[in-house]
Amino acid sequence: MAKQVVFTPSGRRGSFPEGTSVLDAARSLGVDLDSVCGGRGICGRCQVTVGSRPGMEARDDRLSARAATETDYHARRPLGEGRRLGCAALIVDDVVIDVPSDSQVHRQVVRKRAGVDALPVDPVVRLHYIEVTEPDLASPTGDLERVQEALSTQWQLRGLSVVPYVLQRLQTTLRKGDWKVTVAVRDESEIIGIWPGFRDVALGAAFDVGSTTIAGHLCDLLTGAVLASSGRMNPQIGFGEDLMSRVSYVMMNEGGAERLTSVVRGALDDLIGELVSAAGVDRTDILELTVVGNPIMHHLVLGLDPRELGTAPFALVTTSALHTPAALLGLSVHPGARVYTLPCIAGHVGADAAGAVLSEGPHRRDDLQLLVDVGTNAELVLGNRNRLLAASSPTGPAFEGAQISSGQRAAPGAIERVRVDRETVEPRFQVIGQEPWSDEEGFDASVVTGICGSGIIEVIAELFLAGVIASDGTIVERPESDRVVRHDRTFSYVLSEEPRIEVTQNDVRAIQLAKAALHAGARLLMDHYGVDQVDQIRLAGAFGSHIDPIYAMVLGMIPDCDLARVSAAGNAAGVGAMMALLSGVARREIEEVALRVEKVETAVEPRFQEHFVAAMAIPHKTDPYLELAKVVDLPARTVSAEGRRRRR
């Protein structure tokens, strides 16, 4: 007699003959219930529990009693309270079946570790256990054809191709596994791995290749768990600090591109070694990788010539997402593994911006989000679900401490936080690697080596608030304080006497130029969108996560906005790479979104220069920064009539 079955949380329902397995019922209704072993009681991924609904209480006897396969499985890996194997439990009465999230192929994984709360998991590489018919003289088909037949009948996977590596090992593996093997299938279209017997290890690695650092995460493709995370400096730094100097190196040195490609690939491979040893796994367990990076890093990792990216019109070799065999990139992982590179958006807005968009999701929002990734080249995305615009702005390396007299990268010994007394203009500061502030007990001045980007932003913003720096960026004379010292026709501010660290007029100018470029880029996007204000600002990237939003706004790096809605996004690009690693749906999403992003080219926009000039002032020449003024006492300055009109 037919029994009613309802699956939760999907709500799918149907009636099935008594004795149907829960897995078969789920499959026929299209319910998301996982399986690697194809219903043989080996993998344990099909676990369900009996649920309830009004008028139908949860009772164990709505399913058959535990069968031998379940008892065997339970002896190897104990099943949790009330858990049943969906492939072994048979329907004997009307029943509600709960599919827990860890038994769903497409699920949300909640985690804090990599700076993200929840990730969708539906990886493009999946494992399938199959039992293959042995050859005999009566039916002389090839071993591959019988593997394909098994995948078709046991997994409904048809027309699969196979990578050469698998073909070379096919016969020995089939015989070694006694005609029972596990295959890894990528994108439901290609067999990329084969192992004798049952196997349930499938790992992936996601990388964010920045011009300064490379970050990597090792993930379990079956569960979405992050097994290890690590980072290291990009060794290309030895060929040039910033992106443009690396492109110059390529232009001026025969074989330069190949050298840069070789060192960055070497660093990725070393990082893979670190990740697998930290997780206690094998390199060959890695079946899929993803990479994000700015356009120049993206091209260099892939071995594509980046020279066109050095000059207008900044043409990319391709904007499309790519799937490249890992072996071609010199990465020692599973021989069938592929590297997925996210799409690039434009010549200066790369796969890293695509990753940040994927993780921050402006295209999933109703309100207007400005996403800012601050680096040598700021990448900006503005929009919501209706429309997305992107631009890059040539901020230069000042925010990273370059071009600053005592500047340095954010590393131990760098001053990163600064406060300046509004009356006495005396400073206090904090350095990376030391808890106490400079005026607190235990502070060790001997470790101070310089000032990093966030420190320089804070000191200039604080000096502006204390009246030491005027709105036009000039350091003004302060006769009553020996902190302000004269050098010919300009003044400097002495932040530290021992070691001597000064903020010079040139330092302030370098930061003004950088922040004006960033602000002008954002303003240009707002012009194109037709708005004067954004609802939310997210500061992405290592630097964006390090700067205090209030100082970024006092300086006028970013447009005026409700300060409560300005926040750090962490390594959004890296999280995007991880999302693309764990989810085919996420890949399709970003590929579709990247196509519809409208590119705004700052270099050819006549209004960019106009915005740039107005943004040289601190915080801005004409914008009154009314939101900022609600939380900070801004020094009096002249606000033009146009500025007031624009904000009304």
Determine, following the binding rule CB under 6 A, whether residue 44 of this chain makes contact with ligand FES.
Answer: yes
Q: How many other C-beta atoms can be found within 10 angstroms of the C-beta atom of residue 478?
A: 16
Of 6, 22, 85, 244, the one binding ligand FES by CB under 6 A: 85
Determine, following the binding rule CB under 6 A, whether residue 41 of this chain makes contact with ligand FES.
Answer: yes
**Near ligand FES in 214-273, by CB under 6 A:** none
Determine, following the binding rule CB under 6 A, whether residue 48 of this chain makes contact with ligand FES.
Answer: no
In the complex, least distance from residue 599 CB atom to ligand FES, rounded to whole angstroms: 47
Q: Which is nearer to ligand FES, 73 or 179 (CB)?
A: 73
Q: Which is nearer to ligand FES, 44 or 51 (CB)?
A: 44
CB 205 within 8 A of CB 217: yes
Binding-site size for ligand FES (CB under 6 A) equals 14
Of 12, 45, 146, 217, the one binding ligand FES by CB under 6 A: 45
Determine, following the binding rule CB under 6 A, whether residue 22 of this chain makes contact with ligand FES.
Answer: no
Determine, following the binding rule CB under 6 A, whether residue 37 of this chain makes contact with ligand FES.
Answer: yes
Count, residues in the chain:
648
Q: Which is nearer to ligand FES, 7 or 551 (CB)?
A: 7
Which of the stretches 33-41, 281-289, 307-315, 412-420 binds ligand FES when contact is defined by CB under 6 A? 33-41
Of 3, 16, 22, 35, the one binding ligand FES by CB under 6 A: 35
Sign of CA dihedral 311, 314, 315, 318: positive
Which of helix, strand or coil describes residue 403? coil
Q: 514: exposed, middle or buried (C-beta count within 10 Å: 0-12, 13-18, 19+)?
A: buried
Residues in contact with ligand FES, shown as a per-residue x/- string from 166 to 205 under the rule CB under 6 A: ----------------------------------------
Sign of CA dihedral 3, 8, 11, 12: negative
Which of the stretches 82-90, 132-140, 213-221, 514-522 binds ligand FES when contact is defined by CB under 6 A? 82-90
Q: Which is nearer to ligand FES, 40 or 621 (CB)?
A: 40
The backbone torsions φ and ψ at residue 276, rounded to the nearest 5 degrees and listed phi first, read -70, -35
Alpha carbon 327 to its chain centroid, in Å, reads 23
In the complex, least distance from residue 147 CB atom to ligand FES, rounded to whole angstroms: 19
In the complex, least distance from residue 90 CB atom to ligand FES, rounded to whole angstroms: 13
Determine, following the binding rule CB under 6 A, whether residue 42 of this chain makes contact with ligand FES.
Answer: yes
The backbone torsions φ and ψ at residue 479, rounded to the nearest 5 degrees and listed phi first, read -55, -35
In the complex, least distance from residue 76 CB atom to ligand FES, rounded to whole angstroms: 11
Determine, following the binding rule CB under 6 A, whether residue 70 of this chain makes contact with ligand FES.
Answer: no
Cβ-count burial 233-246 (b if 16+ within 10 Å, e if not): ebebbebbbbbbeb
Q: Which is nearer to ligand FES, 127 or 518 (CB)?
A: 127
In the complex, least distance from residue 69 CB atom to ligand FES, rounded to whole angstroms: 8
Q: Which residues contact 201 (CB under 8 A, 6 or more apart)?
A: 281, 285
In the complex, least distance from residue 37 CB atom to ligand FES, rounded to whole angstroms: 4
Cβ-count burial 546-584 (b if 16+ within 10 Å, e if not): bbbbebbbbbbbbbbbebeebebbbbbbbbbbbbbbbbb
In the complex, least distance from residue 87 CB atom to ligand FES, rounded to whole angstroms: 3
Which of the stretches 44-52, 211-219, 502-510, 592-600 binds ligand FES when contact is defined by CB under 6 A? 44-52
Determine, following the binding rule CB under 6 A, whether residue 87 of this chain makes contact with ligand FES.
Answer: yes
In the complex, least distance from residue 39 CB atom to ligand FES, rounded to whole angstroms: 5
Q: Which is nearer to ligand FES, 198 or 314 (CB)?
A: 198
Of 12, 26, 31, 39, the one binding ligand FES by CB under 6 A: 39
Take residue 247 and report the two structure tokens written for it. 């492109």
> Most distant CA pair in the chain: distance in Å?
103
Which of the stretches 79-87, 275-283, 317-325, 565-573 binds ligand FES when contact is defined by CB under 6 A? 79-87
Alpha-carbon gap, residue 466 to 423, rounded angstroms: 7
In the complex, least distance from residue 173 CB atom to ligand FES, rounded to whole angstroms: 20
Determine, following the binding rule CB under 6 A, whether residue 43 of this chain makes contact with ligand FES.
Answer: yes
Alpha-carbon gap, residue 273 to 282, rounded angstroms: 9
SS3 track for 141-178: CCHHHHHHHHHHHHHCCCCCEECHHHHHHHHHHHHHCC
Q: Return the DSSP state at 269.
A: H
Pairing outcome for strands 213-220 and 226-233? antiparallel
CB 331 within 8 A of CB 339: yes
Q: Which is nearer to ligand FES, 83 or 611 (CB)?
A: 83
Take residue 297 and report the two structure tokens written for it. 């890093």
CA torsion, points 255, 258, 259, 261, in degrees to nearest 10? 160
In the complex, least distance from residue 227 CB atom to ligand FES, rounded to whole angstroms: 22
Determine, following the binding rule CB under 6 A, whether residue 583 of this chain makes contact with ligand FES.
Answer: no
CB 617 within 8 A of CB 556: yes
Binding residues for ligand FES (CB under 6 A):
23, 35, 37, 39-46, 85-87
